[in-house]
Amino acid sequence: MARNFSGAAAKSWWRIALGALLLATLAAAWLVLYPPGGSADELGQQLSALQAQTAAKRALLASTRQHVAAVEQGRAEGDKFLNEYFLSRRTAYSTLLSELVDAADRAKIKPKEHAYSTEPIEGSDTLSMMSISANYEGTYANLMRFVHELDRSPRLLIIEGLNAAPQATGGTLNISMKIDTFVRDDGLEP
């Protein structure tokens, strides 16, 4: 009887071993047919989608870099324009007065009184518009040379108004001008 018991136990163990092998085979077949990360086709599709996303992101990055370069170039050119054509508030009055007097001397027109006023430009913390009311005396030809000299000025000078009235003597004109220019704050003032 001991033999039968060991034969029945051996059959039972063989059945368990065969069941375990069958279960392992079924699990392996399941993993082959349905891998946990997806099939080769699914992984290929995911790879293609990721490569397309990567290409799109690289194109967006290149476009953004171009925009950044354009903005930096625009900022540099804007700063250059401001520095070249707008006067510093610290030296604006003396620079303009000497420039107007020099232009009047070259045009042979006689400068009289000058008055300055400065108004902030709406929307800007650092820019102002300076208006100069200036009076001169000279001939029409001298006036045209003076306007030409102002036009050739390295500063941005805008002649807003010009009145010329003849004097009673000698063909000379009393000239009244309003000239606008722009002033920037450099942030150096207290």
Instruction: Report pLDDT digits (tens) over 88-100.
Output: 888 888 888 888 8
Q: Is residue 80 in some structural domain?
A: no
Mind listing the pLDDT tens digit for each residue in 30-39? 877 777 776 7
**pTM of the complete model:** 0.60
Number of folded domains in the chain? 2
Contacts of 165 (CB under 8 A, 6+ apart): 173, 174, 176
Triad 51, 52, 56: Cα angle to 5°: 115
Residues 44 and 129 in one domain: no
Q: Residue 71 domain-assigned? A: no
**pLDDT by residue (tens digit) across 49-90?**
999 999 999 999 999 999 999 999 999 998 888 888 788 888
Q: Given this model, what pLDDT does residue 190 score?
A: 42
Based on the fold, state whether residues 109 and 170 are members of the same structural domain. yes
Examine residue 174 and state whether it is found in any structural domain, yes or no.
yes
Q: 69 in a domain, yes or no? A: no
Give yes or no: residues 53 and 110 share one domain. Answer: no
Domain residue limits at 113: 87-184
Do residues 87 and 95 touch, judged by C-beta distance below 8 A?
yes
Whether residues 43 and 102 share a domain: the answer is no
* 101 and 170 part of one domain: yes
Q: Which residues of 112-143 are buried (b: 16+ CB within 10 A; e: fewer)?
A: eebeeeeeeeeeeeebbebbbebebbbeeebb
